A and B are shown apart, each in its own frame.
Chain A
């Protein structure tokens, strides 16, 4: 089946530093990837849609200068949280869209737990 990986699975950093999270589609090419944020006991909040070779589309209220997204290849998208602060602590989940003639489905990565001290 379609597999999406994320790295790292968890990260702890000091306030003011930047953190990069990688999202890879391991066995398929994904022209579109998505980044979500999830707070405890809540649903997923879409942050941005990432298309290979073009700028990401951010949802309303998401600071694009703080959450930098790069989709450099058909199998890799990265999210960089710049100048992280404690309020950025969250569970970040990426997904990759598999679009074929007979199916169109998003597959999710295992998530990255970010803790900013």
Chain B
């Protein structure tokens, strides 16, 4: 089984400042890693994913994440945030084989302060 920990439930950041949203996972098997964003009253939108290859993954809206296998982390970063980035961010993992389910973290609420 897999588990995902997002330690920060809320992160306030000033506009144009950098941000890092933390995600750590636990798994006995190799996993795929994902970050999703959810705007108010909407479904989830895929920001980026790590399947294999380069550990630095670039996604939409200027976000990027780095897979660190030794630290079992997949932190999400953006060098300069905008008001429109205010949303809930979910980290998720899925095992390479067998279990098809995504395991989600509890989410991080990113609030951009003007």
Total number of B residues with any Cβ neighbor in A under 8 Å: 20
Residues 68-98 of B, flagged 1 when their CB comes within 8 A of A and 0 if not, give 0000000000000000000000100010000
29 A–B contacts, CB within 8 A, in A order: A6-B43, A32-B100, A34-B101, A34-B102, A42-B107, A43-B90, A43-B105, A44-B44, A44-B90, A46-B101, A46-B102, A93-B44, A95-B44, A97-B100, A103-B51, A104-B32, A105-B34, A105-B49, A106-B34, A106-B94, A106-B102, A108-B36, A108-B43, A108-B44, A108-B45, A108-B46, A110-B42, A110-B43, A111-B42
B102 partner residues in chain A, CB cutoff 8 A: 34, 46, 95, 106
**Interchain CB contact under 8 A, A111 and B41:** yes
Is B104's beta carbon under 8 Å from chain A?
yes
Interface residues on chain A, size class: 20 to 34
With an 8 A cutoff between CB atoms, is A113 at the interface? yes
A12 to B64, CA, bound (A): 39
Q: B104 contacts which chain A residues (CB < 8 A)?
A: 43-44
**Neighbouring B residues of A42 by C-beta, 8 Å:** 106-107
Q: Which residues of A contact B (CB under 8 A)?
A: 4, 6, 32, 34, 42-44, 46, 49, 91, 93, 95, 97, 103-111, 113
A104–B44 CB distance below 8 A: no
In the bound complex, CA of A46 to CA of B46 (Å): 17
Shortest A60–chain B CB gap in Å is 12
Q: Is there an interface contact between A49 and B41, defined as CB atoms closer than 8 Å? A: no
CA of A103 to CA of B94 in the docked complex: distance in angstroms? 13
Minimum C-beta distance from A74 to chain B (A): 16
A107 to chain B, nearest CB (A): 7
Contacts of B34 in A (CB 8 A): 105-106
CB–CB B107/A43 < 8 A: yes
Whether the pair B100, A49 counts as a contact (CB closer than 8 A) is yes
Q: In whole angstroms, what is the CA distance A95 to B104 when docked?
A: 14
- A residues within 8 A CB of B36? 108
Chain A residue at minimal CB-CB distance from B32: A104
Q: How far is the CA of A46 from the CA of B101 in the complex (A)?
A: 8
Q: Is the CB of B41 within 8 A of A43?
A: no
Inter-chain contacts of A46 with B (CB < 8 A): 101-102
